[in-house]
Structure 1
Amino acid sequence: MAKTLIRVGPEDFSVEAELAAVRRESPSAGGVVSFVGVVRDANDGARVSKMTLEHYPGMTEKALAKIVEKARERFHLIDVVVIHRVGELQVGDQIVLCLVSAAHRGEAFQGCEYVMDWLKTEAPFWKRETTPEGEHWVDARESDDHARARWA
């Protein structure tokens, strides 16, 4: 049975537990692909000590659900798990998990990339980084727009 899990909140997640659940509940999946985004210690040449993520509750989950549904239809995905953390995160902390399964690896890889490319540009999240020079909001990247455009 197809599973969709979308969760946005401050709680950390277990990649292993989510992967085990997908594998246990979806015997028809021949490929499972995951992506884990992590807070890194530098961005655009500046040292980063922490990141704060904000979202618009309700609207963010709705936007993620639309992205997941399009990916599910386009790539014949069986399961899709999207967990995105918000709040204050330290360097090395997990930010996002995108886990997808499909009958074949090609659809699973493409589905995972599609979800992440659209999430980066269409889901209402705002990032604020703390650097030695102070705090600043992270601007959208042109490279993210280009990545999303390849799916049009």
Structure 2
Amino acid sequence: MTIIPTIRVQREDFDLQAEVDRLSKGKPDIGAVVTFSGLCRDEGGTLSALELEHYPGMAEAEMTRIGELAIERFGLKGLTAIHRYGKIVAGENIVLVVAAAPHRQAAFDGANFVMDFLKTSAPFWKKEHHKGGHAGDWIAAKDADDTARDRWK
């Protein structure tokens, strides 16, 4: 049976427990579920929000490609990846990855793999909005993200 990743790019928030249940309930071959939830942090009290933009269609296609690679590489029994866009205030959810596998290590590795590639390969851009109302710059990619991705090659 072919496992197809669930991929969503959406403005609205997500419910972590509902996504875990949707992926794992009634599937006795799943022995481990690993979740990663990325939140908008306030950067020491200076940031009020992040504005996230994406390339519609291409973002979903790249996320699907990454998800399919993770499923194949780690033998995942299910994978969900959700990425939000729009203006997201400090403390709110940005991204969710749920990886399900027969054993914990595959689930951990699958979730890590997906996040490392989402950070570097999926066409999303972030702009900071600082407290006091002024918009900052678009955030540049970090070398550390490329290094994290490259460990999977």
TM-score range, shorter chain: over 0.9
Counterpart amino acid of residue 61 in structure 1: E
Correspondence for 2:40: 39
- Cα distance change, pair 26–4 in 1 and its aligned pair in 2 (3 A): farther
The correspondence of residues 35-114 of structure 1 with structure 2, limited to 5 A, is 35-42=36-43, 47-114=46-113
| DSSP-derived class of the 2:35 partner | strand
> Residue 77 of structure 1: SS of its match in structure 2?
coil
Q: How far off its partner does 1:3 sit?
A: 4.8
Say yes or no: does 1:30 pair with 2:36.
no
Once residues 70 and 13 of structure 1 are traced to their aligned partners in structure 2, the CA distance between those partners, rounded to angstroms, is 24
Gaps (5+ residues) in structure 1? none
TM-score by length of 2: 0.93
* Residue number in structure 2 paired with 1:7: 8
Measure the CA separation in 1 of the matches of 2:4 and 2:56: 22
Q: Could you list the per-position Cα deviations for residues 100-125 of structure 1 after superposition, in whole angstroms to 9, with x for gaps in the alignment?
A: 10011000000000000000000000
- The amino acid across from 2:6 in the alignment is L
TM-fit CA distance, 1:25: 4.2
Deviation of 1:80 after TM superposition, in Å, equals 0.4
SS at match of 1:12: coil
Cα distance in 2 between the residues matched to 1:25 and 1:47: 44
Gaps of 5+ in 2: none
| Cα drift, residue 135 of structure 1 | 1.9
Query: Matched residue pairs, number?
Result: 150
Q: Give the whole-Å Cα distance in 2 for the aligned partners of 1:107 and 1:51.
A: 32
2:25 and 2:67 mapped to 1: Cα distance?
21
